[in-house]
Amino acid sequence: MKALTLKMPVRYAINTVLLALLLLAGSALLSAGVFGRAQTSVIMQIGVYIILAVSLNVATGYLGQLPLGHAGFMAVGAYAGAILWKALPEGSLSAVAGIIFGGITAAVFGLIIGIPALRLKGDYLAIITLGFGEIIRIAIVNLSGITGGAPGLKKIPKYSNFTLVYICVILTCVIIHMFMKSRHGRAILSIRENEIAAESCGVNTTYYKVMAFTASAFFAGIAGTLYAGNQGIIAPSEFGFLKSIDILVMVVLGGMGSMIGSIVSAAVLTALPLFLQSSLKGFNDYRMIIYSLLLILVMIFKPSGLFGTYDFSLSFLIEKLGVKKSAKGEKQDGAKA
Amino acid sequence: MAQRHDPRLPILAERDLGKTPVIECKKLGIDFGGLTAVDDFNITVGQTEIAGLIGPNGAGKTTIFNLLTKVYLPTRGSMYLNGSDTRDMNTIAANRAGIARTFQNIRLFKELTVLENVLVGLHNKMSYKLPEAVLRLPSYWREERKTREKALDLLSIFDMQDLHGAKAGSLPYGSQRRLEIVRALATDPIILLLDEPAAGMNPSETGELMKNIIKIRDTFHIAVLLIEHDMHLVMNVCEVVGVLNYGRLIAKGSPKEIQDDPLVIEAYLGKKGET
C-alpha cells in the first residue's frame, strides 16, 4: 500500500490550519493562567532558541559551513532592535519595526563577514566568525554611549509575548523551508555535498554561500531582538562564545540538515537546563560537561544527529493517519508518524 | 590492440563539423611550482566530434580537463570555447559557456536524490527568484514542474527515471557514473568531457556505455572529449585520439594512425631492446 500523498496546496492548507489551531490553543492556555510568569518566560526562550537553532542549521546543516559566532549575530540583532524599540513610541507597529531592524542589521553584518570569508574554501569561516563574535562583544562593551556598556542595556520595552514569538518561529521555519525546497535551496545543498561538482554544474557557489550565511544571520538577529524583548535587560556578557556553542550543540544534536531536529533539540536543551537548575543545585556548573558527554555519545551512536536529515511536516501526520484508516482490513502500513 | 573503426559511425570527413571548433587550445601549458604538468598542448575538437585523450598514468590527462573547465588557470597559452576566449572565465562561466564534465572519482551530491542531482544540473535553466520561491508564486510551480519533467526525460536516456527518488550515494557504481553524465548533460553543454567513464565497469556495461556515448552525441548534437584507459572503447568510439605522455601531446590522429605510431607504442610498451 502506497502512502497517501496529498497535493501541495492541500498540504499547505492543512499545515496553516494546524498551526493556527496551535497558536489559539497556546494563547488560550496562557491567558487562562495555566503557566506562571517564569514558565511563560521559558516558553518564550524556547521560541527564541528554536529560531537560533533553525537559522544556524541553514549555515551548518544545509550549507555545510561551521560558523562559531552565531551569538554575535544574536547580539547585533538584540542591541539594534532594542535601541530602536527604546527610540520609537510604544505600539505594536514599533515592535514589528524593531524586529525587522534587528534582523536586517544582523544580515548586514553577515554580508560584511560572509563575502570575504566565503570566497575562500576551507575552514576560514569558523575562524573569522569566532573572531567576529568576540569583537562584537567587546565593541558593545566599549560603545557604552549607545549600548549601555558592560552593565547592559536596561529598560527595554517587553514586547515579546507568546503570539509574537510564535509567529516569528513559524515564519522563520516556513520561510527557510520554502527557501530550501527551491532551486536556491538545492544549490546550497549541492555546495555542501560537493563544491567542485556544484561549480561544474554552473552553480555560483560564492553567491549561494553568502546568501545562506546572510539568511542565517538575519534570523539570528530576529531571535536576538525577541530575546531582548523577553528579558527587558541585555548585557554583552550573555552573548559570549559559549552561547554560540550552545546553539551549535542544539543543531548537531538534532541532526545537521534537519529542521525538526533543530526545533526539538532547541526546545529540550533550553527547557531542561532551566528546569534542572531550579531542582538540582549546582547543575549549571556541570552543564558544559553534560553537553560534551551528550555530544560524544551522539557522535558514537548516531553521528548524523538524533533526526539525521529527516524532515517533517504537520500534514505528514494527517497523511499517515489517512493511510491507517484507508488501510483497515488491508495490510497495515508499518511506518510510524 | 588491433581493432577496426566501428563501421556504424559516419566517417568524419563526410560530416559537417561546423566552421568554428567547439574547443581550440593553443600552446596551453601549466606549471605547478617548478614542475611542468602540461606543456605546448594544442587540440581542436569540432562540433559533434567524439575525441579521445589517452596516455599512461600521470601523463596529465585530468590536468587538461581541469584546465579546460577552468579549475586550474593555465600558465601559458590560450583556449577558445566555441570561438570565444576563455581567459576571463571561471569554472562557473565555462559551464555556462557550454562545457560540462564528469569526474574520475565520482563527485555526485550523494545525500540528494537522483532527481535532485539532475535538478542541480538544470539550476541555470530556471529563472525564478528567491521571493517567488518563498511565496510559492505560480512562476515557481510552473518552472519546477517543467524542469522536473525535463530532468526525468534526461534520466530516461539511461533508463534511470524509475530511480529518481533514490539517494544518489546508494546507487551502484555504474549507475553513479551514468547519473554523473546525465547531470552534466542537464547543463545543456556544447561539449561533454568524460573522465574515465568506463572505469570500474564490466565489459557488457562498457559496451552499453559505448552505444550511449554515440547516442548522446546524436541526440544532443554535442561534441564529446573523453579520457579512457579502455582501448576497446577508445578505438571504437573516438574519431580522433590524442596521446599524452609527460604532459606533452606525442601523437594525434585517427585511432588507426595512433595504433601504428611508433612513439605511442614506445610510450605504452617501452623502447625496443629495453628490458
Q: State yes or no: ipTM above 0.85.
A: yes
Task: Write down the pLDDT at residue A203.
Answer: 95
Taking contacts as CB-CB distances below 8 angstroms, the residues of chain A near B123 are: 183, 186-187, 190, 201-203
Average per-residue pLDDT for chain B: 88
Provide the pLDDT confidence category of residue B17 given band limits of 50, 70 and 90. Answer: low
| Whether the predicted pLDDT of A250 surpasses 50 | yes
End-to-end CA distance of chain A: 16
Q: Considering only the beta carbons, identify the residue of B91, B134, B186 that sits closest to A175.
A: B134
Task: Write down the pLDDT at residue B1.
Answer: 36
The one-letter code for the residue type at A301 is F
CA distances in angstroms from B221 to A12, B15, B124, B131, B154, listed in the order given: 43, 12, 20, 36, 15
In this structure, is residue A72 part of a structural domain? Answer: yes
In this structure, is residue A31 part of a structural domain? Answer: no
Query: What domains can be seen in chain B, in order of their start residue?
Result: 1-98+189-275 (3.40.50.300), 113-186 (no CATH)
> Which residue of A186, A194, A200, A203 to mutate against B (max B Cβ within 10 Å)?
A200
Provide the pLDDT confidence category of residue A318 given band limits of 50, 70 and 90. Answer: low
In this structure, is residue A327 part of a structural domain? Answer: no
Which among B229, B224, B200, B202 has a CA at the least distance from the CA of B212? B224
CA–CA dist B69, B60 (Å, integer): 14
Task: Write down the pLDDT at residue A184.
Answer: 96
The one-letter code for the residue type at A320 is K
Q: Considering only the beta carbons, identify the residue of A179, A189, A201 that sits closest to B134.
A: A179
- A186 and B116 in contact by Cβ < 8 A? yes
Q: Considering only the beta carbons, identify the residue of A187, A199, A201 that sits closest to B183.
A: A201
- A193 and B91 in contact by Cβ < 8 A? no
Average per-residue pLDDT for chain A: 86
In this structure, is residue A334 part of a structural domain? Answer: no
- Residue B118: which H helix or E strand, with range? helix B114-121
Q: Residue A9 is placed in which grid cell?
A: 496546496
Over residues A30-36, the mean pLDDT reads 80
Q: Considering only the beta carbons, identify the residue of A182, A187, A211 that sits closest to B140.
A: A182
Provide the pLDDT confidence category of residue A271 given band limits of 50, 70 and 90. Answer: confident
**Segment B204-240, tens digit of pLDDT:** 989 999 999 999 998 898 999 999 999 999 999 999 9
Task: Write down the pLDDT at residue A312.
Answer: 63
Looking at residue A283, which CATH number applies to its domain? 1.10.3470
| Whether the predicted pLDDT of A97 surpasses 80 | yes
In this structure, is residue A2 part of a structural domain? Answer: no
- A202 and B124 in contact by Cβ < 8 A? yes
DSSP for B217-241, written as a single string? HHHHT-EEEEE-S-HHHHHHH-SEE
Please give the residue of chain A at the shortest CA–CA distance from B123: A183
Tell me what percent of the residues of chain B surpass a pLDDT of 90: 65
Q: Residue A165 is placed in which grid cell?
A: 514569538
Task: Write down the pLDDT at residue A273.
Answer: 82
Task: Write down the pLDDT at residue A317.
Answer: 63
Task: Write down the pLDDT at residue B14.
Answer: 53
Please give the residue of chain A at the shortest CA–CA distance from B186: A201
- Residue A29: which H helix or E strand, with range? helix A8-31
| Whether the predicted pLDDT of B113 surpasses 50 | yes
Please give the residue of chain A at the shortest CA–CA distance from B180: A197
Establish, for the pair of chains A and B, how many residue pairs have beta carbons separated by less than 8 Å.
95
Helix/strand/coil percentages in chain B, nearest 5:
40, 20, 35
Over residues B29-45, the mean pLDDT reads 91
Provide the pLDDT confidence category of residue A324 given band limits of 50, 70 and 90. Answer: low
Question: Which three-class secondary structure state does DSSP give residue B32?
Answer: strand
- B91 and A200 in contact by Cβ < 8 A? yes
In this structure, is residue A134 part of a structural domain? Answer: yes
SS (H, E, C) B56-103: CCCCCHHHHHHHHCCCCCCCEEEEEECCEECCCCCHHHHHHCCEEECC
**Segment B61-88, tens digit of pLDDT:** 999 999 999 999 999 999 999 888 998 9
Over residues A37-45, the mean pLDDT reads 87
Look at chain A and report how many structural domains it folds into.
1
Least confident stretch, A6-10, A159-163, B124-128 = A6-10
Structural domain of A110: 8-25+36-322
A193 touches chain B (CB under 8 A): yes
**Segment A282-314, tens digit of pLDDT:** 777 777 788 888 888 888 888 788 777 766 666
